[in-house]
Structure 1
């Protein structure tokens, strides 16, 4: 098969990284994949070929005929069996290009979050109804994401399949987190409102008050970073928190941490939890989205959303007792069910059924 993958832009974000990893696995088993982006970007993604950009204009996305036409030309030249859109504005551009320039390939939407949380008005929902009525299939990252989508767009019933995110087999580098001789708490994620960094600071403050010899490491970047840096100063935690920005080897940080924390308020199925399980690093997270589909009493600690005191208490228990016995079960879960070579075969099976139906 030929598969065209569309991403929002080259950026070090889960949706784009997984698209590249999936595409690499699809290529290994004999399929031909081309990745393009809606917008220009600077990140070096794990994909060997050039990622062609539509060079779209976000301010005129609903009248961007030039970018729609460029996509149609790429499709005419590449002749894919299907087009998969992966977060951001990729759905908008694919649907508008298809409707205007009349290409016929089916559109597959990869749903990696809880879409309903972003629908703030009837107009937004009405517009999204039009987009989703133009697609052929949705592949949701979790059962929670599927449920959320059906609650807002029930006409998609029968078109949604759940295929989780996966991990690459990787050799984990050894990294020494500074300062040495203390406990290390790690958070990996973009600085966006969904990741709830402000709540994380309050949780860390509670932990630090009872365990002064602890350090918080924040890996990632994004629009909320400046605000969080100000909050760190307000909380007088500058000496206890390190900002890293984007890193090329998050696994080495996860592997070296004593605990990974994820107090997100919105999630699909976060790959960083799987990465922590792969590294045998304990995880504490809020029970949102599809988190509970991998994190449970056997594999980690789930906390009721916004219960910051319980979250801090669980972190302290793990750091103080130092006998967390769930990491082996978590590691086995990932190795047996969440590796990308297995996940890619599920995507191929889904693609083949769709292509057969479309013929």
Structure 2
């Protein structure tokens, strides 16, 4: 099959990284894959071919005739069997380009988060309803994401399937990271956006440091709220206990070096970073939001109800003080068995073939 993947931006964010990893596995399965990015960026994403850019700014995403035409031209040249829109503005570009320039390829939309979180008014509900009506299939990253989408937009029930995210393990020894063994190293990986709740994370960390000064927080990620969070670190007098990282292409060595990974997000679809931590045998503590409960349970980690900072702190203390090695091993085996991208890619192909059946071989 010929598959065109549309990503939001050339950035180190879960949706973009997964789309690139997925595309590489799809190519290994014998498919032809191209990726196009709506907005430019500095990230060196894990895809061997060039990734062209449609537009340089998001201010005109509702009326970017030039960008929609550029997408149509790419489709005309590549002639894909399937277009996959990967979250955010990619859906707008795919649908508006198709309606205006009349190309025929079916659109698959990858729903990687919690839709209701973004539907703030009648206009956003109307426009998203219109966009989703014009896609052929929705692939939700978790059963929780599917339920949420179907509740907000009931007409999507018959066009939504669940295919989870997976991971691509990279040997951590190749770029080994060593954190100080004299302190407990806590890590968080995620874009600096309101969804990831860095402010709540710093509040939790502040509570930990009042109990023990020997904790250190490593923050890996980029995003619009990074400067705000750097200021928050100063305000909380945590400057000597927090380190920010950016431009990290492969977080696994950092995750592997940490004593624990924490994820107190406001919303999630099914975060790959938890799977990566489990693969690295780094214990996890996370809020029970979105599809997190589909991978984190008492058998694989610590699941805390949203905004319960005190119980989150207690779970971190318990995990650091007495790691549950049976729990860590169970989580690792689960990831190996069910969440490797090499196998996840085959499930995507099944969805593509159902939407755009290919002629029998020989025809």
TM-score (norm 1): 0.97
Aligned residue number for residue 312 of structure 1: 313
Aligned length: 358
Cα contact 1:186–1:216 (8 A) shared by 2:
yes
Q: Distance in 1 between matches of 2:204 and 2:64?
A: 44
Matched, 1:37 2:33: no
> Which digits, 9 at most, give the CA deviation of each residue in 1:206-238, with x for residues without a partner?
111112211111111111111111111111111
Aligned residue number for residue 177 of structure 2: 175
Bigger Cα displacement from structure 2, 314-323 vs 210-219:
314-323
Q: Distance in 2 between matches of 1:165 and 1:280?
A: 18
Cα contact 2:85–2:91 (8 A) shared by 1:
yes
Aligned residue number for residue 348 of structure 1: 349
Aligned residue number for residue 124 of structure 1: 124
Q: Distance in 2 between matches of 1:297 and 1:211?
A: 26
Matched, 1:165 2:165: yes
Cα contact 2:283–2:323 (8 A) shared by 1:
no
Cα contact 1:57–1:64 (8 A) shared by 2:
no
Matched, 1:15 2:15: yes
Aligned residue number for residue 153 of structure 2: 153
Cα contact 1:280–1:327 (8 A) shared by 2:
yes
Q: Distance in 1 between matches of 2:262 and 2:273?
A: 10
Matched, 1:222 2:223: yes
Q: Distance in 2 between matches of 1:245 and 1:20?
A: 19
Q: Distance in 1 between matches of 2:47 and 2:358?
A: 30
- Structure 1 counterpart SS, 2:357: helix
Q: In the TM superposition, what is the alpha-carbon distance from 1:325 to its structure 2 partner?
A: 3.0
Q: Distance in 1 between matches of 2:57 and 2:244?
A: 31
Cα contact 1:145–1:268 (8 A) shared by 2:
yes
Q: In the TM superposition, what is the alpha-carbon distance from 1:324 to its structure 2 partner?
A: 4.2
Cα contact 2:110–2:140 (8 A) shared by 1:
yes
> Which digits, 9 at most, give the CA deviation of each residue in 1:96-124, with x for residues without a partner?
01001111111000000001101110111
Q: In the TM superposition, what is the alpha-carbon distance from 1:357 to its structure 2 partner?
A: 9.5
Q: In the TM superposition, what is the alpha-carbon distance from 1:56 to its structure 2 partner?
A: 5.2
Aligned residue number for residue 213 of structure 2: 212
Cα contact 1:56–1:64 (8 A) shared by 2:
no
Q: Distance in 2 between matches of 1:248 and 1:43?
A: 8
Q: Distance in 2 between matches of 1:132 and 1:142?
A: 18
Q: Distance in 2 between matches of 1:110 and 1:205?
A: 36
Aligned residue number for residue 340 of structure 2: 339
Aligned residue number for residue 294 of structure 1: 295
Matched, 1:192 2:227: no
Bigger Cα displacement from structure 2, 8-17 vs 164-173:
164-173
Contiguous gaps of at least 5 residues in structure 2: none
- Structure 2 counterpart SS, 1:62: coil
- Structure 1 counterpart SS, 2:9: coil
Q: In the TM superposition, what is the alpha-carbon distance from 1:321 to its structure 2 partner?
A: 2.0
Q: Distance in 1 between matches of 2:320 and 2:58?
A: 45
Cα distance change, pair 28–267 in 1 and its aligned pair in 2 (3 A):
same
- Structure 2 counterpart SS, 1:38: strand
TM-score (norm 2): 0.96
- Structure 2 counterpart SS, 1:239: coil
Q: In the TM superposition, what is the alpha-carbon distance from 1:40 to its structure 2 partner?
A: 1.6
